[in-house]
Copies of this chain bind each other. A is one copy, B any other.
């Protein structure tokens, strides 16, 4: 069996930034060449970023994408890299619409493609067969499916090419890999992180390797794009299903690996298989050992996913820093700690806005946090700002409580408008689920790091982060008192969250069933929760959809995040 050296390049592309993404591809291709690779592959849509959503419907965007791919082929050749085959993911088009004459509405005009760059040209292309159209994915909306497997003959090894979802489904490309007798299956992915997804992804890749009797090279992009975080975790599995190389999560990385690929037999014609032959560069080299990265524990993975999503939202959108309202509570404290890990404490601005109902500890815990993290910090009391509204409007009850949250929002947005920072909002998933927040008040902001983090996980992550700091001999960023005290919005004297809500253990248990697992009330009741309470919680979730529609985006880390992952009507009247 001849040895083939593969390079899997996990990059962090920005949507629409063809030039910047191309430059990074050239850099890593050079590294791959220097490492003696025979083939280098980048992730799905690595040229354009992913997901491009309805940009796939703009002919001008597709034309730019195709032009960028052709330019990249030339640039690589000019850089002396033209003899190394490069697999790059990109959207191709515009094609004739998938459906003609359907209403006024455009249907897909693009394909989700892998291009093979070689000798200064686009030597071959492959279009994704299976288009995911569930969860956060709208690919059937945006793309025309492909219908042909690509097999590259590289010297004497056959390398089949597929894109992401193609290996998640039986039939289609996967079944043709075996028929075509390919020695390697190279899969380009843009697979977003979610907790425990690795428990599905890794066994799948192993199963496909054994089934197809091909070495599977799985390359994934990294980085944040709006509400999604791509975690990399690229890997290579041999035909016995053993992991022979694995890249770290969340970081750009070039994974180089020698694989014992089966030599190709004389090619046979197979319906639905496009064969392309490329010369293989002869390179004298010694066998190398490859890295097999270990996965971090679950809490560390979640932390890193959020940090990555936040950092990339800030950097890709060009914000100088972030601004957080610090209440001394756990949510704003953990958000400040996440922000400091994402962009450095010097770019984190905190503002404490005590009201007449704020406890002494809310101010002192915020001070303590600011000191621990070393962020920019100011205090702006709000009593004198609230009072004129009370006098003018005579607000009472909930309206008076909301008023305080909204006055804080005006202060926060005023500072942001003057100084340019991105406002981070800090409502956790439990609050967002039941609508326990003031719209246009504590919900204001462009990005919400906790959007997909239930309150009980907020506590877990805080403890983990403090322990990790202590283990490294650093100051734990989050004040112990912020973790241990009873949560309160402090919008009236002595208020506690648990006056209005069940305990967070119970609430999060019900929400896990209803939101994440999509169970009905009976199934949740069977988990041991009180049926009346379950129905109350479900009603709260259904009724607060309108608030979630106007909420900031935040990184998906669970099976079912709020947002495009869970699309529900606002107007919904069950039981009528």
Contact between B389 and A410 (Cβ–Cβ < 8 Å)? yes
Contact between B398 and A417 (Cβ–Cβ < 8 Å)? yes
A383-396 near B? 1/0 per residue, CB < 8 Å:
01100110011011
Nearest CB of chain B from residue A23's CB, rounded to whole Å: 10
Contact between A409 and B411 (Cβ–Cβ < 8 Å)? no
Contact between B406 and A413 (Cβ–Cβ < 8 Å)? yes
Chain A residues 553 to 575 lying within 8 A of chain B, measured CB to CB, are 553, 559, 564, 566-575
Q: Please, which residues of chain B bring their CB within 8 A of the CB of A411? A: 389, 392-393
Contact between B414 and A395 (Cβ–Cβ < 8 Å)? yes
Chain A contact residues (Cβ within 8 angstroms of B): what range? 35 or more
Contact of A399 among B14, B54, B418 (CB under 8 A): B418
| A522 interface hit (Cβ, 8 Å) | yes
Q: How far is the CA of A55 from the CA of B574 in the complex (A)?
A: 11
Known: A58-B520, A414-B389. A316 touches B399 (CB 8 A): no
| A356 interface hit (Cβ, 8 Å) | no
| A183 interface hit (Cβ, 8 Å) | no
Q: How far is the CA of A552 from the CA of B440 in the complex (A)?
A: 12
Q: Please, which residues of chain B bring their CB within 8 A of the CB of A20? A: 573, 576
Which of A96-104, A153-161, A323-331, A338-346 faces chain B?
A96-104
Among A19, A316, A415, A576, max chain B CB count under 10 A is at A576
Q: How far is the CA of A520 from the CA of B53 in the complex (A)?
A: 16
Nearest CB of chain B from residue A572's CB, rounded to whole Å: 5
Nearest CB of chain B from residue A361's CB, rounded to whole Å: 24
Among A61, A108, A141, A415, max chain B CB count under 10 A is at A141
Contact between B103 and A197 (Cβ–Cβ < 8 Å)? yes
Q: Please, which residues of chain B bring their CB within 8 A of the CB of A107? A: 134
Contact between B522 and A569 (Cβ–Cβ < 8 Å)? no
Nearest CB of chain B from residue A246's CB, rounded to whole Å: 20
Contact of A549 among B17, B132, B393, B553 (CB under 8 A): B553
Q: How far is the CA of A399 from the CA of B412 in the complex (A)?
A: 11
Specify the chain B residue showing the minimal Cβ separation from A225: B571
Contact of A60 among B395, B520, B568 (CB under 8 A): B520
Q: How far is the CA of A570 from the CA of B134 in the complex (A)?
A: 21
Chain A residues 91 to 146 lying within 8 A of chain B, measured CB to CB, are 99, 101-108, 132-135, 138, 140-141
Residues of A near any B CB (own CB < 8 A): 14-20, 49, 51-55, 57-61, 63-64, 99, 101-108, 132-135, 138, 140-141, 168-169, 194, 196-197, 200, 224-226, 312-313, 316-317, 380, 384-385, 388-389, 392-393, 395-396, 398-399, 402-403, 406-407, 409-411, 413-415, 417-418, 439-440, 444, 446, 518, 520-523, 546, 549-553, 559, 564, 566-576
Known: A16-B573, A317-B571, A389-B410. 19 other contacts (CB 8 A): A16-B572, A18-B576, A53-B569, A54-B568, A64-B574, A99-B134, A99-B169, A103-B200, A104-B559, A105-B132, A105-B135, A226-B569, A317-B570, A380-B392, A393-B411, A393-B414, A395-B417, A407-B410, A413-B440
* 26 A-B interface contacts by CB (under 8 A): A15-B571, A17-B573, A17-B574, A20-B573, A52-B569, A54-B566, A54-B567, A58-B518, A60-B521, A63-B520, A103-B168, A103-B197, A104-B135, A108-B134, A316-B573, A380-B393, A384-B388, A385-B389, A393-B414, A395-B418, A403-B414, A406-B410, A406-B414, A407-B410, A549-B553, A553-B570
Closest 7 A-B residue pairs measured CB to CB?
A60-B520, A399-B417, A17-B576, A105-B135, A17-B573, A16-B574, A16-B572
